[in-house]
Amino acid sequence: MSEQNNSQENKKKSFEQFMRSTFKVVLDPVASFFLKLGLTPNMVTILGLVITITAAIFAGMGKFLVAGLILLVGAPFDAVDGAMARQLGKPTRFGGFFDSVIDRYAELFMMGGLLYYYVGQSNKLASVLVFIAAAGSVMVSYTRARAEGQAFTAKVGILSRVERMIALVLFLIIGKPLIAMWIIAILANFTAIQRIFNVRKQARESESSQLRGEL
Protein backbone atom coordinates (compact mmCIF):
# COMPACT_ATOMS: atom_id res chain seq x y z
CA MET A 1 0.00 0.00 0.00
CA SER A 2 1.30 3.46 -0.81
CA GLU A 3 2.28 6.11 1.72
CA GLN A 4 -0.77 8.13 0.66
CA ASN A 5 -3.10 5.22 1.44
CA ASN A 6 -1.41 4.69 4.80
CA SER A 7 -1.82 8.38 5.55
CA GLN A 8 -5.54 8.24 4.76
CA GLU A 9 -6.06 5.17 6.95
CA ASN A 10 -4.09 6.75 9.80
CA LYS A 11 -6.26 9.86 9.61
CA LYS A 12 -9.39 7.70 9.69
CA LYS A 13 -8.06 5.74 12.66
CA SER A 14 -7.08 8.97 14.40
CA PHE A 15 -10.61 10.34 13.97
CA GLU A 16 -12.17 7.13 15.26
CA GLN A 17 -9.75 7.07 18.20
CA PHE A 18 -10.58 10.71 18.95
CA MET A 19 -14.30 9.91 18.98
CA ARG A 20 -13.81 6.90 21.20
CA SER A 21 -11.57 8.69 23.69
CA THR A 22 -13.86 11.73 23.75
CA PHE A 23 -16.99 9.74 24.55
CA LYS A 24 -15.33 6.96 26.56
CA VAL A 25 -16.12 8.76 29.81
CA VAL A 26 -19.83 8.52 28.90
CA LEU A 27 -19.93 5.19 27.08
CA ASP A 28 -18.17 3.09 29.71
CA PRO A 29 -20.57 3.95 32.59
CA VAL A 30 -23.56 3.38 30.30
CA ALA A 31 -22.11 0.04 29.22
CA SER A 32 -21.57 -0.96 32.85
CA PHE A 33 -25.14 0.05 33.71
CA PHE A 34 -26.59 -2.05 30.89
CA LEU A 35 -24.49 -5.04 31.94
CA LYS A 36 -25.81 -4.72 35.50
CA LEU A 37 -29.34 -4.79 34.08
CA GLY A 38 -28.50 -8.14 32.53
CA LEU A 39 -28.44 -6.90 28.94
CA THR A 40 -26.04 -8.39 26.40
CA PRO A 41 -24.18 -6.46 23.68
CA ASN A 42 -26.41 -8.01 21.01
CA MET A 43 -29.53 -6.91 22.90
CA VAL A 44 -28.23 -3.35 22.92
CA THR A 45 -27.49 -3.61 19.20
CA ILE A 46 -31.13 -4.54 18.61
CA LEU A 47 -32.27 -1.74 20.93
CA GLY A 48 -30.29 0.73 18.83
CA LEU A 49 -32.03 -0.59 15.72
CA VAL A 50 -35.46 -0.14 17.34
CA ILE A 51 -34.59 3.45 18.24
CA THR A 52 -33.44 4.14 14.68
CA ILE A 53 -36.64 2.66 13.26
CA THR A 54 -38.60 4.94 15.58
CA ALA A 55 -36.63 7.92 14.25
CA ALA A 56 -37.34 6.74 10.71
CA ILE A 57 -41.08 6.67 11.41
CA PHE A 58 -41.01 10.26 12.60
CA ALA A 59 -38.91 11.25 9.59
CA GLY A 60 -41.52 9.62 7.37
CA MET A 61 -44.14 11.85 8.98
CA GLY A 62 -42.00 14.93 8.31
CA LYS A 63 -41.21 15.48 11.99
CA PHE A 64 -37.52 15.97 11.35
CA LEU A 65 -36.58 17.58 14.66
CA VAL A 66 -38.06 14.71 16.65
CA ALA A 67 -36.42 12.20 14.30
CA GLY A 68 -33.05 13.91 14.68
CA LEU A 69 -33.25 14.00 18.46
CA ILE A 70 -34.26 10.34 18.64
CA LEU A 71 -31.44 9.41 16.29
CA LEU A 72 -29.05 11.46 18.42
CA VAL A 73 -30.04 9.36 21.42
CA GLY A 74 -29.82 6.10 19.49
CA ALA A 75 -26.53 6.73 17.68
CA PRO A 76 -24.29 6.05 20.72
CA PHE A 77 -25.78 2.55 21.06
CA ASP A 78 -23.59 1.60 18.11
CA ALA A 79 -20.59 2.18 20.35
CA VAL A 80 -22.09 1.06 23.66
CA ASP A 81 -22.48 -2.55 22.53
CA GLY A 82 -18.78 -2.66 21.68
CA ALA A 83 -17.88 -1.13 25.04
CA MET A 84 -20.02 -3.79 26.75
CA ALA A 85 -18.25 -6.58 24.88
CA ARG A 86 -14.86 -5.18 25.90
CA GLN A 87 -15.91 -4.93 29.54
CA LEU A 88 -17.07 -8.54 29.42
CA GLY A 89 -13.65 -9.38 28.04
CA LYS A 90 -15.10 -11.51 25.28
CA PRO A 91 -15.85 -9.66 22.06
CA THR A 92 -16.86 -12.31 19.52
CA ARG A 93 -16.54 -12.54 15.75
CA PHE A 94 -20.28 -13.09 15.50
CA GLY A 95 -20.88 -9.97 17.61
CA GLY A 96 -18.87 -7.87 15.19
CA PHE A 97 -20.65 -9.41 12.22
CA PHE A 98 -24.09 -8.97 13.81
CA ASP A 99 -23.37 -5.34 14.72
CA SER A 100 -22.26 -4.57 11.16
CA VAL A 101 -25.36 -6.16 9.62
CA ILE A 102 -27.71 -4.34 12.01
CA ASP A 103 -25.93 -1.05 11.22
CA ARG A 104 -26.78 -1.53 7.55
CA TYR A 105 -30.41 -2.26 8.37
CA ALA A 106 -30.55 0.82 10.60
CA GLU A 107 -29.24 3.09 7.85
CA LEU A 108 -31.63 1.65 5.29
CA PHE A 109 -34.62 2.03 7.60
CA MET A 110 -33.64 5.66 8.21
CA MET A 111 -33.30 6.30 4.49
CA GLY A 112 -36.58 4.48 3.96
CA GLY A 113 -38.34 6.88 6.31
CA LEU A 114 -37.07 9.86 4.35
CA LEU A 115 -37.91 8.19 1.05
CA TYR A 116 -41.48 7.60 2.26
CA TYR A 117 -41.78 11.27 3.17
CA TYR A 118 -40.49 12.62 -0.14
CA VAL A 119 -42.54 10.17 -2.21
CA GLY A 120 -45.58 11.39 -0.28
CA GLN A 121 -44.60 14.94 -1.19
CA SER A 122 -44.30 13.92 -4.85
CA ASN A 123 -40.72 15.20 -4.76
CA LYS A 124 -39.09 13.04 -7.42
CA LEU A 125 -35.65 14.65 -7.19
CA ALA A 126 -35.49 14.19 -3.41
CA SER A 127 -36.71 10.61 -3.72
CA VAL A 128 -34.01 9.74 -6.24
CA LEU A 129 -31.43 11.52 -4.08
CA VAL A 130 -32.38 9.44 -1.01
CA PHE A 131 -32.05 6.27 -3.10
CA ILE A 132 -28.58 7.30 -4.31
CA ALA A 133 -27.55 8.17 -0.75
CA ALA A 134 -28.77 4.79 0.50
CA ALA A 135 -26.90 3.01 -2.29
CA GLY A 136 -23.72 4.91 -1.49
CA SER A 137 -23.99 4.13 2.23
CA VAL A 138 -24.35 0.42 1.54
CA MET A 139 -21.54 0.39 -1.02
CA VAL A 140 -19.10 2.04 1.39
CA SER A 141 -19.54 -0.90 3.74
CA TYR A 142 -19.81 -3.52 1.01
CA THR A 143 -16.56 -2.51 -0.68
CA ARG A 144 -14.71 -2.78 2.61
CA ALA A 145 -16.28 -6.15 3.43
CA ARG A 146 -15.47 -7.59 0.00
CA ALA A 147 -11.95 -6.18 0.11
CA GLU A 148 -11.25 -7.74 3.49
CA GLY A 149 -12.73 -11.00 2.22
CA GLN A 150 -10.02 -10.94 -0.47
CA ALA A 151 -7.30 -10.14 2.09
CA PHE A 152 -7.07 -6.47 1.09
CA THR A 153 -7.77 -3.39 3.20
CA ALA A 154 -10.31 -0.70 2.32
CA LYS A 155 -10.57 1.73 5.19
CA VAL A 156 -9.75 4.76 3.07
CA GLY A 157 -12.36 7.35 2.16
CA ILE A 158 -13.84 10.58 3.41
CA LEU A 159 -17.30 9.51 4.53
CA SER A 160 -17.54 6.51 6.85
CA ARG A 161 -20.59 5.63 8.97
CA VAL A 162 -19.60 8.07 11.73
CA GLU A 163 -19.50 11.05 9.36
CA ARG A 164 -22.75 9.97 7.68
CA MET A 165 -24.51 9.75 11.03
CA ILE A 166 -23.22 13.16 12.13
CA ALA A 167 -24.47 14.76 8.91
CA LEU A 168 -27.86 13.05 9.16
CA VAL A 169 -28.45 13.96 12.81
CA LEU A 170 -27.31 17.55 12.34
CA PHE A 171 -29.46 18.31 9.30
CA LEU A 172 -32.50 16.47 10.65
CA ILE A 173 -32.38 18.61 13.78
CA ILE A 174 -32.24 21.84 11.79
CA GLY A 175 -34.99 20.57 9.50
CA LYS A 176 -32.87 20.25 6.34
CA PRO A 177 -32.40 16.51 5.81
CA LEU A 178 -32.13 17.00 2.06
CA ILE A 179 -28.76 18.68 2.61
CA ALA A 180 -27.58 15.54 4.38
CA MET A 181 -28.85 13.47 1.46
CA TRP A 182 -26.82 15.57 -0.99
CA ILE A 183 -23.72 15.16 1.16
CA ILE A 184 -24.16 11.41 1.56
CA ALA A 185 -25.23 10.80 -2.04
CA ILE A 186 -22.10 12.48 -3.37
CA LEU A 187 -19.45 11.69 -0.78
CA ALA A 188 -20.52 8.15 0.14
CA ASN A 189 -20.42 7.06 -3.48
CA PHE A 190 -17.13 8.89 -3.92
CA THR A 191 -15.80 6.98 -0.90
CA ALA A 192 -16.91 3.67 -2.42
CA ILE A 193 -15.09 4.58 -5.65
CA GLN A 194 -12.00 5.53 -3.63
CA ARG A 195 -12.04 2.09 -2.07
CA ILE A 196 -12.46 0.36 -5.42
CA PHE A 197 -9.37 2.09 -6.81
CA ASN A 198 -7.51 1.47 -3.56
CA VAL A 199 -8.16 -2.26 -3.77
CA ARG A 200 -7.30 -2.24 -7.47
CA LYS A 201 -3.93 -0.72 -6.64
CA GLN A 202 -3.30 -3.28 -3.89
CA ALA A 203 -4.24 -6.11 -6.27
CA ARG A 204 -1.81 -4.87 -8.92
CA GLU A 205 0.97 -4.46 -6.36
CA SER A 206 0.31 -7.97 -5.09
CA GLU A 207 0.37 -9.41 -8.62
CA SER A 208 3.61 -7.56 -9.40
CA SER A 209 5.21 -8.91 -6.23
CA GLN A 210 4.19 -12.43 -7.14
CA LEU A 211 5.65 -12.06 -10.63
CA ARG A 212 8.94 -10.74 -9.24
CA GLY A 213 9.03 -13.66 -6.84
CA GLU A 214 8.61 -16.13 -9.70
CA LEU A 215 11.47 -14.63 -11.73
The reply to whether 81 belongs to the active site is no
Can you tell me the distance from the alpha carbon of 119 to that of 63, in angstroms, rounded to the nearest whole number?
Answer: 15
Q: Which of 78, 81, 99, 103 is catalytic?
A: 103
The residues carrying an active-site annotation are: 103
